[in-house]
Amino acid sequence: MLSSYLTLAAILFCIGLYGALVKRNAVVVLFSIELMLNAVNLNLIAFAKYGAAPSLTGHIFTLFTISVAAAEAAVGVAVLIALFRSRGTVNIDEFDEMRR
Amino acid sequence: MLHLDITGEFVAFFLLSVVMITGAVLTISLTKVVHMVVSLAAVFLGLAGMFVLLQAEFVAFVQVLIYTGAISILMIFGIMMTEHRAEGTDPVKPLHETLAAVAALSLFGLLFFAIRASDFPEPAPFPFGEDQTLEIGKLLYTGYLIPFELLSVLLTVAFIGAIALARKEAG
């Protein structure tokens, strides 16, 4: 059963990775990052139950990941709103000041 | 080889994983951003179901509260404050898209073969079925006290920072 959970997490992670690499809308890139974080959480919980030494440490780590993801989403959305105010777009191809 | 013994856990796992993969694919492929959020919420709910299946009830409820509740709403706010009529259709760059697909697929192949090749030790029985919230609380306030407090500082800093960033500047 453990390998099924790990495979599902791998599928989710790869879908998220593809979205983060391909999508041009910055909000959608944030969605994809959330997908990848969720895949990691599934791995942590699966190992907490089916690992060699089951324990609650995986649950604690998942709680930490969820809180850090919440902070990341809040700051990400705030940065997007600030960028949208100054540039009028959320297309990540246009945010390239650092490259010039 | 796969050996399939149809148990309740397997059926629930199958249904939930169908929901999650469908939601994830739709999140990537739908055109309207608001529809994407709804399918992303389906993925989050499916993951909460997975957590219940893995006997992580407390984490499952935290997942529903934080992800399906807070983060989805936050994302909807993000959409509304930026381009709420945005279509996800972008100018397609075939080379870029192909390269990204190749990268994601090869990563998946690597992970899949690594998972298939490794043989996991037979798990010990999971001893925390009851009073799990109590045990998590004890762990948080003993062994993981310092990370826990640091996390509260991080959350405070992040949310004050988010308010400061998104606030309309005077004049």
Rounded CA-CA distance B157/B170 in Å is 22
User: Is residue B55 classed as helix, strand or coil in its secondary structure?
Assistant: coil
pLDDT digits (tens, 9 = 90+) for B78-95: 888 777 565 555 566 788
CATH code of the domain occupying B1-87: 1.20.120.1200
Of B161, B156, B21, nearest in space to A38 by CA: B21
Where along chain B do its domains lie? 1-87, 132-171
Q: State the average pLDDT over residues B55-83.
A: 87
Q: Which residues of B touch A60 (CB under 8 A)?
A: 136, 139-140, 144
Q: What is the pLDDT of residue B75?
A: 87
Amino acid at A75: V
Q: What is the pLDDT of residue A13?
A: 94
pLDDT digits (tens, 9 = 90+) for B97-115: 888 899 999 999 999 999 8
User: Is residue A91 classed as helix, strand or coil in its secondary structure?
Assistant: strand
Q: What is the pLDDT of residue B79?
A: 83
Q: What share of chain B is helix, strand, coil (3-state, %, to 5)?
A: 75, 0, 25
User: Is residue B89 classed as helix, strand or coil in its secondary structure?
Assistant: coil
pLDDT digits (tens, 9 = 90+) for B3-35: 666 788 888 889 999 999 999 999 888 888 888
Sign of CA dihedral A58, A64, A69, A72: negative
ipTM given for this complex: 0.89
Q: What is the pLDDT of residue B2?
A: 58
Which residue on chain B is closest to A63 by alpha carbon?
B59
Rounded CA-CA distance B15/B134 in Å is 30
Where along chain A do its domains lie? 2-99
Q: Are A78 and B165 spatial neighbours (Cβ–Cβ below 8 Å)? A: yes
Q: What is the pLDDT of residue B171?
A: 45
Q: For chain A, say whether B24 makes contact (Cβ under 8 Å).
A: yes
Maximum CA extent, chain A: 52
Of B140, B125, B56, B18, nearest in space to A41 by CA: B56
Residue of higher predicted confidence among B134 and B167: B134
Q: What is the pLDDT of residue B43?
A: 93
From first to last of its 100 residues, chain A has per-residue pLDDT tens of: 788 899 999 999 999 999 999 888 888 888 899 999 999 999 999 988 888 778 888 899 999 999 999 999 999 989 888 888 888 777 887 777 777 7
* Cβ within 8 Å, pair A17-B107: yes
Domain A2-99 is found in CATH 1.10.287.3510: yes
Q: Which residues of B touch A35 (CB under 8 A)?
A: 24, 27, 40, 43
Percentage of chain A modeled with pLDDT above 90: 43
A39 vs A6, A13, B93, B109, B127, CA distance in Å?
Answer: 9, 5, 27, 16, 24
User: Smallest CA–CA separation between A100 and chain B, in Å?
Assistant: 21
Of A77, A37, A30, A34, nearest in space to A61 by CA: A37
